[in-house]
Structure 1
Amino acid sequence: MSIKQTQYLSKTVSDLKPSGIRRFFDLAANMEGVISLGVGEPDFVTSWAVREACILSLEQGYTSYTANAGLIELRREISNYLKRSFSVEYSPESEILVTVGASQALDLALRAIINPGDEIIIVEPTFVSYAPIVTLAGGVPVPIHTNSKDEFKLRPEQIEHVITDKTKAILICSPNNPTGSVLSKEELVEISHIVEKYNLLVISDEIYAELSYDQPYTSFASIEKMFDQTILISGFSKGFAMTGWRLGFVCGPGEILQAMLKIHQYTMMCAPTMAQHAAIEALRGGMQDVEAMKKSYRQRRNFFVNSLTEIGLPCYTPGGAFYAFPSIENTGMTSEEFAENLLLEEKVAVVPGNVFGESGEGYVRCSYASSIEQLQEAIKRMGRFMEKRK
């Protein structure tokens, strides 16, 4: 008699939906000549100086575990970087933890603060992993819907409408994935008043902090009175073009960091040693490369967003990250229909907006982290696709 293996699975895991992004990546992977605007990673190679620092660390035999919290040299560089770039000062000894990507940092933060049934407010459209990670930690994700009219920005009154006695924290991502929306300092201050009033935590995902194009970036932790109520999450994947290195970090008040460290000790031990050595070099000498990438992304953004509007896909100008989030409502198709038809007919891969939550329906996410030549060809194909629907 055969045994159904599903009987052994956690109900929580069984009920999780697989990532909606993966289906389109898998479709595109089996087709030739596809231009992918779906992948959320830089098209730049990690700078040579950073790669060389990694190679040197291997040659010198640095292949053992580091301290659980990460190399103290790296934590000091992270502290210095945050202080000079965003006016936020964390103790390298007790308030910074090096993680395996920002994703692990987010997982640790949620598991460290959530009791069963605690509610975590997330802002839709939202990165695909936020709600599932909240659920896996035993919490309840509570979505707030935003829209293009407001540039997908969170409004303070929206927070008050969903707060209950079970609300523990708000998860904010600015610059945002998938919309590219950036919250200004003034807007963050308004949110901070609600946070203070209801004594909430803010988990601030700042992985795209280096990629803010039209205004200086403001870290939520730098807002007055918010340092002790903020868990700051970031890493090296986006701004430093180090996605495959899997290196992130989380900063916050000492007691919360120590709780995260306990989980990290039991589940991960430490982040990859050679990646940590590379990251030290990235922070010490890699800012010119970051600025060069940022300049290139800004130029691509301007071309791509203007071109989308010209071919009949209205798109507000995103302030950061490397995503455009155009409306496809005038086509009469759902987000999934649009993405699938565009892929099959013109071999351009985009991500349907509904995978980022209900408020993403009617939009698609396009990454402009591709060469200008590829973006030009993608616009040409998308324009042809739209012409057929007139």
Structure 2
Amino acid sequence: MPHRPVSTSSRLAEVRYEIRGTLSHRARDLEAEGRRIVRLNIGNPGAFGFEAPKHIRESVTRSLPNSEAYCQQQGLPMAREAIAAQQRMRGSLSVDAERVFIGNGVSELIDLALRALLEAGDEVLVPAPDYPLWTAATILNGGKAVHYPCPAGRGHLPDVEEMAALITPRTRAIVLINPNNPTGATYPRELLGAIVALAERHQLVLLADEIYDGILYDGARFEPLAALAGDVPCLSFGGLSKVHRACGYRVGWFSVSGSRARVVDMLHAFDLLAALRLCGNVPGQWAIEPALQGADTISALTAPGGRLHDSRRAVLEAVERSRFLRVVAPAGALYAFPGVDTALIPDFDDEAFALHLLETEDVLIVPGSSFNVRYRNHFRITLLPRAEVIADVFGRIERALVRTAEVRSTARQVA
């Protein structure tokens, strides 16, 4: 009797993560052939020459002798207190160290939080476009991701009435990503307040992905959700990966705000799940206190004349020159989410274009539909390359768009 392949979970059929998916594997094959691929698919500062600040690197090095034992499952006490202090400074007065959980990046903690919250069939409102881990983790924990639209025509912001219409008796939580990945949108205070009121009315948990909280451009403001949520249960996620350019440290956290009576069972569940994986990476946790209490090292990069600001400007200028592209200027985070004018290229397909761009121009982007939207005319790029690289890349993108438009035009004429 022939051996059959081992079957895997049916839930994986619904999971997408094209940021490191098929196109990235193809890029790796091309690199093995000797081609030089410009990888714009992932927000990985160290891969583009950014360095973690010296003071947090030195703290990790100095503390290595004290890092060889497991720590408490929630994380090092001094690190948790530094996170709690930051939250209280931002207006979330109910947060103390006992309400902070440190893990191996925000990714691990998203999974942990949803595992604690969801029964099979429970629903979570997730923005579209989203960071696809939120949808994947919801599915893998037995839930259903219900996407609320954040279209370019509204500056990639949601409409609270549309969100309310999606709520059912099975809805458990609302996810917000602010500043947003992939669009760079930042949420105004009034909109956040309306979402808090919606969560209060329907007794939902707020899940605020705020990993890009310090990466802002041209006067944009970051409004922490927990400060507005008051007694409403709110999990605020942050970490070292982006603002502090320390992705490889794998250090993330979330803090839990809201009235004690409403969050006590969640805290017990989070503690149990944290204990089951023993603890987060200990060496990286020594970087948390100096990162949060030390010098601001990100603002110089995002201010005019800073490297990230220059790269963002290069994207906006390239889109302005393009015959085919439009974009909502990112107000924060490390990405832009350009769209292709489908009046000029009817039947544009983002996945087919991304593959064509990779094969012909050696540029790797992420198709917009990978971020759980129904339209197929957007793509995401990271702002991390230097401005001159961005300008060169968009020249290649424009050449590929010209070819795509010509192929579509020829096909229509033949038809």
Classify the TM-score, shorter chain. over 0.9
Check whether the contact 1:79–1:89 (CA below 8 A) recurs between aligned residues.
Answer: no
Which consecutive unaligned segments of at least 5 residues does structure 2 have?
A: 258-262, 407-415
Please give the per-residue CA displacement for 1:174-194, whole angstroms capped at 9, x wherever unaligned: 111111111111111122221
Please give the per-residue CA displacement for 1:178-228, whole angstroms capped at 9, x wherever unaligned: 111111111111222211221211111111111132322111111153x53
What's the CA shift for 1:284? 2.6
What's the CA shift for 1:289? 1.5
SS at match of 1:97: strand
Check whether the contact 2:199–2:232 (CA below 8 A) recurs between aligned residues.
Answer: no
SS at match of 2:52: coil
Aligned to 1:81: 86
Question: Which of 358, 364, 373 lines up with 1:349 in the alignment?
Answer: 364
SS at match of 1:288: coil
Q: Distance in 2 between matches of 1:90 and 1:375?
A: 44
Aligned to 1:265: 275
Aligned to 2:205: 201
SS at match of 1:50: helix
Q: Distance in 2 between matches of 1:164 and 1:77?
A: 38
SS at match of 2:148: strand
Q: Distance in 2 between matches of 1:261 and 1:310?
A: 52
Q: Distance in 1 between matches of 2:285 and 2:227?
A: 26
Please give the per-residue CA displacement for 1:67-120, whole angstroms capped at 9, x wherever unaligned: 111111101111222333x33235443211111100111111111111221111
What's the CA shift for 1:261? 1.6
Q: For residues 150-165 of structure 1, what are the structure 2 equivalents within 5 Å?
A: 150-165=154-169
Count of residue pairs brought into register by the alignment: 383
Mean Cα displacement is larger for which, 101-110 or 210-219? Answer: 210-219
**What one-letter code is carried by the residue in structure 2 that aligns with 1:352?**
P
Q: Distance in 2 between matches of 1:176 and 1:135?
A: 21
Check whether the contact 1:96–1:249 (CA below 8 A) recurs between aligned residues.
Answer: yes
Q: Distance in 1 between matches of 2:232 and 2:199?
A: 11
Which consecutive unaligned segments of at least 5 residues does structure 1 have?
A: none
Q: For residues 102-251 of structure 1, what are the structure 2 equivalents within 5 Å?
A: 102-213=106-217, 214-225=219-230, 227-251=231-255
Please give the per-residue CA displacement for 1:138-161, whole angstroms capped at 9, x wherever unaligned: 111111222110011111101111
Identity %: 25
The answer to whether residue 400 in structure 2 is matched with residue 385 in structure 1 is yes
What's the CA shift for 1:231? 1.2
Q: Distance in 2 between matches of 1:257 and 1:161?
A: 30
For normalisation by structure 2, the TM-score amounts to 0.87
SS at match of 2:145: strand
The answer to whether residue 376 in structure 2 is matched with residue 361 in structure 1 is yes
Q: Distance in 1 between matches of 2:331 and 2:17?
A: 26
Please give the per-residue CA displacement for 1:298-352, whole angstroms capped at 9, x wherever unaligned: 3321221231231131111111111111112333320112211111222121111
What's the CA shift for 1:61? 4.0
Check whether the contact 2:16–2:370 (CA below 8 A) recurs between aligned residues.
Answer: no
What's the CA shift for 1:373? 2.3
Q: Distance in 1 between matches of 2:390 and 2:149?
A: 30
Question: Which of 307, 317, 342 lines up with 2:318 in the alignment?
Answer: 307
Q: Distance in 1 between matches of 2:225 and 2:193?
A: 8
Cα distance, 1:144–1:75 mapped onto 2, change above 3 Å: same
Aligned to 2:296: 288
Aligned to 2:413: none
Aligned to 1:29: 28
Aligned to 1:317: 329
Check whether the contact 2:84–2:97 (CA below 8 A) recurs between aligned residues.
Answer: no
Check whether the contact 1:125–1:360 (CA below 8 A) recurs between aligned residues.
Answer: no
Cα distance, 1:69–1:360 mapped onto 2, change above 3 Å: farther
Mean Cα displacement is larger for which, 191-200 or 250-259? Answer: 250-259
Mean Cα displacement is larger for which, 66-75 or 342-351? Answer: 342-351
**What one-letter code is carried by the residue in structure 2 that aligns with 1:66?**
C
Check whether the contact 2:220–2:332 (CA below 8 A) recurs between aligned residues.
Answer: no
Q: Distance in 1 between matches of 2:280 and 2:311?
A: 33
Mean Cα displacement is larger for which, 29-38 or 131-140? Answer: 29-38
Cα distance, 1:359–1:151 mapped onto 2, change above 3 Å: farther
Cα distance, 1:18–1:164 mapped onto 2, change above 3 Å: closer
Check whether the contact 1:36–1:348 (CA below 8 A) recurs between aligned residues.
Answer: yes
**What one-letter code is carried by the residue in structure 2 that aligns with 1:364?**
F
Aligned to 2:283: 274
Check whether the contact 1:124–1:360 (CA below 8 A) recurs between aligned residues.
Answer: no
Q: Distance in 2 between matches of 1:316 and 1:170?
A: 24
What's the CA shift for 1:16? 3.6
For normalisation by structure 1, the TM-score amounts to 0.92
The answer to whether residue 70 in structure 2 is matched with residue 65 in structure 1 is yes
Mean Cα displacement is larger for which, 213-222 or 17-26? Answer: 17-26
Aligned to 2:411: none
